[in-house]
Amino acid sequence: MIKQLDIAVGGQGLYPITAQVVPVVAGCERREGLCTLFIRHTSASLLIQENYDDSARVDLENWLNRLVPERDPLYTHTLEGDDDMPSHIKAALTATQLSIPFQHGELMLGTWQGIYLWEHRHHAGTRQLVVHL
């Protein structure tokens, strides 16, 4: 089974998407298997991370922004703005695909794990996420 989810983003940051993936898994005929998530973009990524304390997400965002700064003089791909090339680098350093086992129609995430779409651009928009079970 394959389903596409459209995820609205308001700009750069980590967006929790577990709640959007859970019903897809629950509605699958198969009761166990592997849920593969794939983001169809080159300037956003996917992440499994702590879902309890928001400061962990803030620290991750701050750390990656420090690691990959905007307006680096080495960048030549600048037509789409100061955040474009850094967003491609950030996506290359993180993941565009995740695989999560499911059993009894439920994702087998750990107690404090959540699924996040990591938007690396500043502008708002919609990202496409493919869910394959």
Report whether 23 contacts 39 (CB < 8 A).
Answer: no
Residue 128 lies in a domain: no
Residue 42 lies in a domain: yes
The pTM assigned to this predicted structure is 0.95
* Angstrom distance (rounded) from CA 133 to CA 2: 6
Residue 94 lies in a domain: yes
Residue 96 lies in a domain: yes
Structure tokens at 41: 């973009």
Structural domain containing residue 101:
12-120
Mean pLDDT of residues grouped by 10 in the chain (133 residues)?
98 97 96 97 97 94 97 95 97 97 97 98 97 98
Indicate the number of domains in the chain: 1
> Residue 101 is part of a domain; what is its CATH number?
2.60.120.460
Residue 132 lies in a domain: no
